[in-house]
């Protein structure tokens, strides 16, 4: 029996996720695999090896850090044992894409891969052409991938009941066409917003069929783009981060801990100097339950990826009582520390809603200026 339910929240927020039992701090509320997930296109182009289905890294921490730092002689202490999960690596017999296990290979094939399997070296294949076009339209840092959209369409096409699968996807669509267009333009950027029809045509060359055609109309494609832009949950996996977490749990003397911390700091600096923003394997996924969680600027839950793949875990940050709405933050930790106006502005631009959480209501008397504007005014006052 689950301890939560998805039900109508109110006219402003639509549906929400509500507790049906008490959760204490640290309790796991739910675990969920996405309907589909996908590595970011530029992330894959920068050779971040990952399972094509669940995004589990396909490198050991030592292999990962040597490649990222471009230093083949780096040796990580306490790194034995990280090779075991890679022993089950396999690939698609037809196209050669890599999977962390036969289970992921089969799940991908059943869910979407049969419709999208192609010769990876064929530069004239419609998928290759679509990916190259997307990379030109959506430079790093990416917020979604066109292949997440394509996998959604393949999921519908391959589903035993495609009508039901299409209905599942439509549950994520709840804005007007004008709102969808506004979100899509922001996703692509002003300089590329006129390229939507090009993307739609290229996507239609990849996949078509009775139950996906409605998503390939001008309005349907715009809605689908907005859907993956706002409902796509960011996913990040990293062998290096897994190793750092592992050694942080080891018993060490104070001196050993200090030396290890210094070693890790130097390691990250070396990696960042070479790899820049491509430190982790990054992508996005579409989650049916987790996406029902509304935003709050004082969230009582958070999304984590403790398994090193795309399986998400929603954990309680505070005590949650039966009947209470389970809310996460759509903003990162840094943005949450900013002024009410700054938070409202970011949420309005990226998610098209005005936040009415308890914190925003309690701070309604604050001036309508961003944190940066407040700082500028304070600097001017101090100069006077």
Write out the two tokens for 277. Answer: 């923003």
Do 223 and 367 fall within a single domain? no
In this prediction, residue 372 has a pLDDT band, given cuts at 50, 70 and 90, of low
Write out the two tokens for 131. Answer: 């990916």
Residue 288, classified by CB atoms within 10 Å of its CB into exposed (0-12), middle (13-18) or buried (19+), is: middle
Domain residue limits at 358: 338-383
Q: Measured between alpha carbons, how far is 319 from 333 in angstroms, rounded to an integer? A: 20
Write out the two tokens for 286. Answer: 């579409």
Give the pLDDT of residue 332: 86
| Continuous H helices in the chain | 41-45, 61-69, 102-108, 114-116, 126-137, 146-158, 162-170, 177-188, 196-206, 218-231, 239-248, 254-275, 333-336, 340-351, 358-362, 371-383
- 284 inside domain: no
In this prediction, residue 173 has a pLDDT band, given cuts at 50, 70 and 90, of confident
Task: Give the SS3 label for residue 148.
Answer: helix
Q: Measured between alpha carbons, how far is 157 from 16 in angstroms, rounded to an integer? A: 28
Give the pLDDT of residue 190: 64
Backbone angles phi, psi at 380, to 5 degrees: -65, -45
Beta strands 4-10 and 14-19, pairing class? antiparallel
Do 192 and 47 fall within a single domain? yes
Long-range contacts of 366-370 (CB under 8 A, 24+ apart): 366/339, 366/340, 366/341, 367/341, 368/341, 369/339, 369/341, 370/338, 370/339, 370/341, 370/342, 370/345
What would the mean pLDDT of 317-337 be, rounded to a whole number?
94
- 247 inside domain: no
Q: Measured between alpha carbons, how far is 312 from 306 in angstroms, rounded to an integer? A: 8
Split into its structural domains, the chain has a count of 2
On the CB side of 122, CA atoms within 13 Å amount to 10
Q: Measured between alpha carbons, how far is 229 from 227 in angstroms, rounded to an integer? A: 5
- 2 inside domain: no
Residue where a domain stops, chosen among 172, 207, 234: 234
What would the mean pLDDT of 239-248 be, rounded to a whole number?
92
Residue 209, classified by CB atoms within 10 Å of its CB into exposed (0-12), middle (13-18) or buried (19+), is: middle
For the segment 190-225, what is each residue's pLDDT rounded down to a tens digit? Answer: 666 678 889 999 999 999 999 999 999 988 998 898
**Residues 6 or more apart in contact with residue 333 via CB below 8 angstroms:** none
Write out the two tokens for 335. Answer: 């943005």
Do 215 and 353 fall within a single domain? no
Give the pLDDT of residue 182: 73
- 159 inside domain: yes
For the segment 107-157, what is each residue's pLDDT rounded down to a tens digit? Answer: 999 999 999 999 999 999 999 999 999 998 887 878 788 999 999 999 999
What would the mean pLDDT of 31-35 be, rounded to a whole number?
96
Task: Give this prediction's pTM.
Answer: 0.86
Query: What is the percent of the chain where pLDDT is above 90?
Result: 64
Backbone angles phi, psi at 315, to 5 degrees: -120, 145
Residue where a domain stops, chosen among 234, 255, 285: 234
Residue 115, classified by CB atoms within 10 Å of its CB into exposed (0-12), middle (13-18) or buried (19+), is: buried
Pair 156, 211: CB distance under 8 Å:
yes
- 108 inside domain: yes
Do 227 and 351 fall within a single domain? no
Do 230 and 345 fall within a single domain? no
- 357 inside domain: yes
For the segment 62-107, what is each residue's pLDDT rounded down to a tens digit? Answer: 999 999 999 999 999 999 888 877 899 999 999 999 999 999 999 9
pLDDT at 177 over 90: no
Give the pLDDT of residue 378: 47
| CA-closest candidate to residue 287, choices 169, 114, 159 | 169
On the CB side of 217, CA atoms within 13 Å amount to 7
Residue where a domain stops, chosen among 177, 201, 234: 234
* Beta carbons within 10 angstroms of residue 161's beta carbon: 11
For the segment 41-71, what is each residue's pLDDT rounded down to a tens digit? Answer: 998 888 888 999 999 999 999 999 999 999 9
Give the pLDDT of residue 377: 47
- 61 inside domain: yes
């Amino acid at each position: 029996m689950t301890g939560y339910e998805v039900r109508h929240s109110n006219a402003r927020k639509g549906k929400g996720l509500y507790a049906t039992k008490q959760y204490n701090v640290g309790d796991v509320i739910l675990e969920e695999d996405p309907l589909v997930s996908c590595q970011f296109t530029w992330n894959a182009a920068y050779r971040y090896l990952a399972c094509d289905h669940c995004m589990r890294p396909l490198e050991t921490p030592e292999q990962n850090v040597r490649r990222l730092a471009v230093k083949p002689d780096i040796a990580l202490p306490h790194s034995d044992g990280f090779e075991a999960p890679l022993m089950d690596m396999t690939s698609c017999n037809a196209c050669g894409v890599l999977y962390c296990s036969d289970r992921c290979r089969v799940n991908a094939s059943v869910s979407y891969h049969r419709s999208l399997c192609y010769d990876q070296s064929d530069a004239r294949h419609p998928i290759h052409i679509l990916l190259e076009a997307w990379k030109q339209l959506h430079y790093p840092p990416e917020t979604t991938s066109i292949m997440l959209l394509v996998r959604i369409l393949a999921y519908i096409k391959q589903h035993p009941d495609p009508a039901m699968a299409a209905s599942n996807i439509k549950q994520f669509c709840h804005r007007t066409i004008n709102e969808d267009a506004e979100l899509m333009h922001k996703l692509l950027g002003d300089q590329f917003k006129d390229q939507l029809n090009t993307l739609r045509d290229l996507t239609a060359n990849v996949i078509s069929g009775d139950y996906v055609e409605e998503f390939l109309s001008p309005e349907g494609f715009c809605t689908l783009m907005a859907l993956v832009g706002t409902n796509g949950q960011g996913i990040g996996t990293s062998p290096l981060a897994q190793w750092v977490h592992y050694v942080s749990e080891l018993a060490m003397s104070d001196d050993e801990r200090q030396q290890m911390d210094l070693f890790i700091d130097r390691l990250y600096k070396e990696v960042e100097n070479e790899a820049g923003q491509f430190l982790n394997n990054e992508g996005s996924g579409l989650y049916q339950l987790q996406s029902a969680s509304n935003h709050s600027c004082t969230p009582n839950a958070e999304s984590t990826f403790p398994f090193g793949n795309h399986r998400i875990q929603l954990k309680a940050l505070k005590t949650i009582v039966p009947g209470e709405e389970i809310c996460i933050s759509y903003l990162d930790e840094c943005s949450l520390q900013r002024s009410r106006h700054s938070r409202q502005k970011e949420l309005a631009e990226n998610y098209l809603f005005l936040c009415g959480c308890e914190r925003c209501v309690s701070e309604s008397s604050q001036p309508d200026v961003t944190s940066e504007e407040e700082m500028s005014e304070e600097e001017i006052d101090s100069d006077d």
